[in-house]
Structure 1
Amino acid sequence: MNIYDIAKLADVSIATVSRVVNDSSKVNDKTKEKVLRVMEENHYTPNVFARGLGLNSMKTVGLVCPDVSDNYMAKAVAYLEKNLRGYGYDCILYCSGYDEEDKRQAVELILQKRIDALVLIGSNYAGGRDEETSYINEVAGQIPVFMINGYIEGENIYCTLADDYQAVYDATEELIFAGKRRILFLSNSESFSAMQKRKGYEDAHKNHGLPVLEELRLYTENSIHGTRDRLLLCRNLVFDSVIATEDGMAVGALKYARARGISVPGEISVVGYNNSELSISCEPELTTVDARGEILCKSAIDSMMSLLGGEKIRQKTMIKCHLIKRHTTDF
C-alpha cells in the first residue's frame, strides 16, 4: 500500500494525502477525516516521500528532451520555461539524445536533483517499436511525470499531446478529395507521434477504399537536402502528392520537385508538419499542420500547477491540430 493507493481509495490527489500526513491547514476537516480513515483502515504508514510531497518545495521542475537543437524541442523548452517562470518555478534541462539507454540515464540523473516534477518533451519517450518505458513508471512512483506529445498509461503520469492521428487523417482525406491517389508518406522515426501520423494516413486510405501501398511509405532523415537526394535516387517511384511528418522533409520534397522540373501544386501537392519557420521560408510557401506546441506546453504546466496545488487532474489531454493551407496544395 502506497500514497497513490491511499489517494485512489479516498478519491483525492496524492498532494492532498501528503498535506493530511503533514497536518496542513489547507485541507478541510471533512477531507482530512476521510483520508485518515482510509489510512487507518489500510494500516498505511507514511514514508518520507509522502511527508515531503507538495510541501518544502524547491520550486524547480526537471525538463528532459532528446535534442535542444531540434526546432520543435527548442520551442517547447522556451514555452515551458516561460510558463514555469510565470508560476514562480525554475527549471533544470537535460538533453538525453535518442538512444534508449541514454534516455534512461538522463532521467536517472535529473531525478537526483530535488525537483517537484519531471517533464519529458517529445514522443520519443512514449516508446515505439521495441522501446522500454518501465523506467518512466518507476520515476512516477517518486514524483509526477508530465509528457509533452507522448502517451504512457500509469499512475502519476500525465500526458498532453497533439491529435497527430486526426491531423494526418484529415490532411490525407483532403488530398483524396482533391483527386490524389498516390500519396507519398515521408517519415523519419518510429516514435509514438510518428506511428500515430502513419495510422492516420493509412486509415484515411482504407476508409476511402484505397490501397495502402508499401512503396509509398518512405523512411528518410529529417533534412532538406537529405530528403531531396533520397527522392532523386528513387527514379521509379511515382507519386502525385506528399505528406511529411516534419516540415524539413516536406521542403526537401519541394527541392526534389524543383530539381525534376515538377510543378507544385500543379503536378504534385505537398503537406508538411509543425508549421515551423521552414514552412514560410520556402517557395511556394508550405501547407502544413500546426501541432500547437505552445498550447500543449501551457496546458501541461497549468495542469502541473493544479496537481501540485492539491487538485485532481486528467491523465490525458488531447489538443486539436490545425491544417494551415498555403500554396503547395490546391484543395
Structure 2
Amino acid sequence: MNIYDIAKIAGVSHTTISRVINSKPGVKEETRERILKILDEYAYFPNSCAKGLASNKNKIIGILLIDVRNSHHTDTAFYIEESFAKLGYASIIAACGWDDSMQDEYLRVMASRNVEGLVLIGSRFQNDNAQKSIKKYFNDKPVVIANGYLPLDNVCGVLLEERKAVSQVVDHLVGKGHRNLAFINDNCTVSANNKQQGFLDGIQKNDLLWNEKNILDIHTRYYVSKEETEKLLREKPEITAIIYSEDILAVGGIKACYSLGLKIPEDISIIGFNDSIYSDISTPTITTIDNRTHDTGEYCSKALHSMLNGETVEPVYHLEPTFKIKESSL
C-alpha cells in the first residue's frame, strides 16, 4: 500500500497525507486524527529509501568492524548504534574480516546502501588500501575511525594512547619488584604494534635485561595463549609477570599458570588489556588496561553526528586508557 492508496481511502489528496506523515501544518485537526487512524489501521509507514532519495538524507549510518567475535569492537559498535538510535538513525552493522579485498568490498556495499556516514572500528582500517577505498566510495561523506586515523579531509580518528599505557604498566610492575617480564601479543595491527612498542619502551626506560624471546606474537585464541604461555614458562621459569594484549589471552595465561602449579599473583602476575567481561569472570579477576570502550563509542558518535551536521571537528582525538588493578597482580 502506498500514499496514494491511503489518500483514496481517506478521501483527501496525497499532499495532505504527506503533511500528516511529516507533521507539517495546514491540516485540520479532525482530518489529521482521521488520517492517523487510517495509517495505524493499515500499518502504513513511509518508504525511507524513497524519502532518502528525495532529501538526500535517509538517516542511516554504517558501522564496519573486522570480527564480530571481538567483544571490545562489538561493545563499541553497540554504544554507537545506541547513540544514533536516540537521534533517529538506523545503523547497518557488518564485519569484513581481515582480507584487504573484503574491506574494499564492504566499503563499496556500505556506499551502495547510501549510508550518510560511516564508523570504522579498529586500527586494522589504518592502512593504504582502506584509505584508497574511502577516497573511492566515501570521498564526500564523513568517516570516523575508532582507534585509527587516515590523513583525509573527511576522516576523524579517535586514538587510544595504548603505547603509553603499556609502558606505564611496565613501570608499575617494576615498582612492585618485577625484573623479568614477558609480553604476549595478538594479530599484527597498528594497535598491536603500539602495545608491543609500549612494552619495549618500558623495558628500556627501566633498564631491564632483555631477551627477544620474551615477546610472542600469536592468534587471538584462548587455547593458543594457554599453550604458548606454558611453553614460555617452561623455557623461562624466571619470568614473574606477563602482559597480554587482550584479556582473552590473559585468561589462557591464567589457565597455563595453574597447569604448571604456579600461584597467582604470589608466583606470577598476569595483566590483560581491554577491561572486558573476561577480566571480571576469570578466577582470579584479571588486572587490566581499560581502553575506555564506552568513551570511544561516545566520542565516535558525537564526532560523526557533528560532521553530518556540517560542523568542523578535530581530525584526531586522543584518549588515555586507565589501569585497573584486580586480583591477578600484586
TM-score bucket of the superposed structures, by smaller chain: 0.7 to 0.9
Give runs of aligned pairs for residues 51-200 of structure 1, distance below 5 A: 56-127=56-127, 133-200=131-198
- Taking the aligned partners of 1:219 and 1:60, their CA distance within structure 2 comes to 38
1:147-180 Cα offsets, whole Å, 9 max, x none, are 0111222221101122211211111111111121
- Taking the aligned partners of 1:152 and 1:212, their CA distance within structure 2 comes to 34
The equivalent of 2:236 in structure 1 is 237
The equivalent of 1:216 in structure 2 is 214
Normalising to structure 1: TM-score of the pair? 0.79
- Taking the aligned partners of 1:288 and 1:241, their CA distance within structure 2 comes to 13
Once the two structures are overlaid, the 10-residue window that deviates more, 107-116 or 220-229, is 220-229
The answer (yes or no) to whether the contact 1:202–1:212 under 8 Å persists in 2 is no
1:49-74 Cα offsets, whole Å, 9 max, x none, are xxx9xx63111111111122321122
* 1:106 CA drift (Å): 1.0
In structure 1, give the amino acid aligned to 2:259. Answer: A
* 1:281 CA drift (Å): 1.1
Superposition RMSD in Å: 1.8
The answer (yes or no) to whether the contact 1:275–1:288 under 8 Å persists in 2 is yes
- Taking the aligned partners of 2:204 and 2:289, their CA distance within structure 1 comes to 22
1:65-124 Cα offsets, whole Å, 9 max, x none, are 112232112212211110111211111122101111111111111111111111111111
- Taking the aligned partners of 1:212 and 1:121, their CA distance within structure 2 comes to 34
The equivalent of 1:279 in structure 2 is 279
Structure 1 unmatched ranges of 5 or more: 1-51
In structure 2, give the amino acid aligned to 1:214. Answer: E
In structure 1, give the amino acid aligned to 2:153. Answer: E
- Taking the aligned partners of 1:136 and 1:213, their CA distance within structure 2 comes to 41
The equivalent of 2:14 in structure 1 is none
- Taking the aligned partners of 2:178 and 2:130, their CA distance within structure 1 comes to 38
- Taking the aligned partners of 1:64 and 1:281, their CA distance within structure 2 comes to 28
In structure 2, give the amino acid aligned to 1:168. Answer: V
* 1:310 CA drift (Å): 2.1
1:11-63 Cα offsets, whole Å, 9 max, x none, are xxxxxxxxxxxxxxxxxxxxxxxxxxxxxxxxxxxxxxxxx9xx631111111
In structure 2, give the amino acid aligned to 1:200. Answer: G
2:200 paired with 1:202: yes
Structure 2 unmatched ranges of 5 or more: 1-51
* 1:197 CA drift (Å): 0.8
* 1:134 CA drift (Å): 2.7
The equivalent of 1:28 in structure 2 is none
The answer (yes or no) to whether the contact 1:63–1:120 under 8 Å persists in 2 is yes
Once the two structures are overlaid, the 10-residue window that deviates more, 118-127 or 204-213, is 204-213
Aligned-partner SS, 1:166: helix
Once the two structures are overlaid, the 10-residue window that deviates more, 226-235 or 249-258, is 226-235
- Taking the aligned partners of 1:92 and 1:132, their CA distance within structure 2 comes to 19
The answer (yes or no) to whether the contact 1:185–1:216 under 8 Å persists in 2 is yes
- Taking the aligned partners of 1:157 and 1:189, their CA distance within structure 2 comes to 25
Bigger radius of gyration among the two? 2
* 1:245 CA drift (Å): 0.6
The answer (yes or no) to whether the contact 1:180–1:241 under 8 Å persists in 2 is yes
1:221-247 Cα offsets, whole Å, 9 max, x none, are 222222111222343134211110100
* 1:287 CA drift (Å): 0.3
The answer (yes or no) to whether the contact 2:67–2:96 under 8 Å persists in 1 is yes
- Taking the aligned partners of 2:136 and 2:318, their CA distance within structure 1 comes to 24
Percent identical residues: 24
The answer (yes or no) to whether the contact 1:140–1:155 under 8 Å persists in 2 is no
- Taking the aligned partners of 2:162 and 2:229, their CA distance within structure 1 comes to 24
* 1:300 CA drift (Å): 1.0
The answer (yes or no) to whether the contact 2:221–2:249 under 8 Å persists in 1 is yes
- Taking the aligned partners of 2:140 and 2:309, their CA distance within structure 1 comes to 17
Aligned-partner SS, 2:115: coil
In structure 1, give the amino acid aligned to 2:281. Answer: S
